[in-house]
Amino acid sequence: MSDTTTHPSSGDPTSTRPASTGWSTGFSVFAGVFLIVSGICQVLAGIAALVRDQVYVATPNYVYSFDVTTWGWIHLVVGAAMALTGLGVVQGQTWARMVGIVLAGLSAIANFMFLPYYPVWSLVLIALDVVVIAALVREQRAAA
């Protein structure tokens, strides 16, 4: 059995495109849910940094050292954008897949820079971001 079916587009009967499968839809929902979960985790990290600066320990002589409040705002904004984009991915919005890939990439970079402040949390969020990117890229290829 083949993954492609013939769909005439603009009168060309030789045109083919991938058929929509359950796996394709499943990856989209999976990516959207993980984007929402990762976004909520980012928001929680941001709130913790904004409310109590003492939650995170600043490492001396770190190249990417910002004030913990600055990190809190970064996590809060990126996390809220990720959660909202995840809702778009779950609803099947085409714009949300590309925005989700970009936001997950930015989140992974931000969490890499945040490693000295809270290493385990940052590694978990980086792993979630990588999973989201992989699922959204797979979905993007299936939709093309």
Does a structural domain hold residue 80?
A: yes
Q: How much is the pTM? A: 0.74
Does a structural domain hold residue 101?
A: yes
44-74 pLDDT per residue, tens = 988 988 887 666 666 666 666 677 788 889 9
Number of domains in the chain: 1
Does a structural domain hold residue 28?
A: no
Does a structural domain hold residue 5?
A: no
Q: Which helix (H) or strand (E) holds 4?
A: strand 4-6
Does a structural domain hold residue 20?
A: no
**Structural domain that includes position 137:** 35-49+62-144
pLDDT at 104: 93
Query: Given CA atoms 36, 135, 141, 106 in this order, what sign does their dihedral have?
Result: positive
Does a structural domain hold residue 115?
A: yes
pLDDT at 71: 83
Does a structural domain hold residue 74?
A: yes
10-49 pLDDT per residue, tens = 445 554 444 455 555 677 888 899 899 989 988 998 898 8
pLDDT at 140: 61
Share of the chain above pLDDT 70, in %: 69
Does a structural domain hold residue 9?
A: no
- Whole-number Cα distances in Å, 95 to 6, 19, 23, 89, 99: 26, 20, 20, 8, 6
